[in-house]
Amino acid sequence: MSADGMNVLPEMMVHTAVTRVTALEDHELGDLVKAAEAAIDEGGANWTRSPGQAPLEKYFRGVMLAPHRDLFVARLNGRVRGGLQLIQPPPLSETGPSSGEIASFFVAPDARGFGLARGLIDAAEARARDLDLKVLDLSIRADREAAQSLVRAKGFHRWAVKSHYAHVDGRFVAGAYFSKDLDDPDGLSDEDEEG
């Protein structure tokens, strides 16, 4: 109790972790699906409405089985609260063997503000470097301003905006495309800075 008689709660210990996974326990997969559904309901992720628990479980199981995809999960106090895919170039690609893509990137709204999104990007970038990828690409809906600010802070540069990126609630929403040169993070510039 404080000097003024008010109850003072000790600061809650928060533990965060980001890992690349090739398998999840059923309860972890359930947490991942719930986090995805919460992000979808809030307007995040790459879906406009949740397809339901069973299709999302199949989707994430498929991601974990796909040979050229890595699934990263973010945990908050031991529970899966976010996810990200790193899509690697196909092995026979001659024109783009050094470019990876970040996709299906989300954090549940109630788990934001703890560095999970930043941790997911850091983990994907570290894996991309381990794979000797030279460039990471991603795209984000234009109305996801916090996500765009985050990727810019992580060194991604916007190179294009597409006015008809996604069809949401009967109207088109713009989307922005970003890249990061992993060998020379300062080597790219935003398309809107080039004039």
> Tell me, what's the pLDDT at 138?
95
The edge-to-edge listing of strands for the beta sheet with 171-181 is 16-21, 69-76, 79-87, 99-107, 135-141, 171-181, 157-168
pTM passes above 0.95? no
> Tell me, what's the pLDDT at 192?
47
Tokens at residue 10, please?
A: 């000790």
Query: Which residue has tokens 């997911």?
Result: 120
Residues of the chain falling short of pLDDT 50: 1-2, 6-9, 192-195
Tokens at residue 128, please?
A: 């991309």
Please state the domain extents for the chain. Answer: 16-181
> Tell me, what's the pLDDT at 194?
46
Cα dist. 127→7, 19, 86, 124, 169 in Å? Answer: 45, 11, 8, 5, 36
> Tell me, what's the pLDDT at 163?
95
Residue 128 in 3-state DSSP?
helix
Cα dist. 168→47, 49, 61, 127, 132 in Å? Answer: 9, 9, 26, 32, 36
Tens-digit pLDDT profile for residues 116-136: 999 999 999 999 999 999 999
**Interhelix angle 145-153/116-130, nearest 10 degrees:** 50
> Tell me, what's the pLDDT at 95?
66
Provide the CATH number for the domain formed by 16-181 in this structure.
3.40.630.30
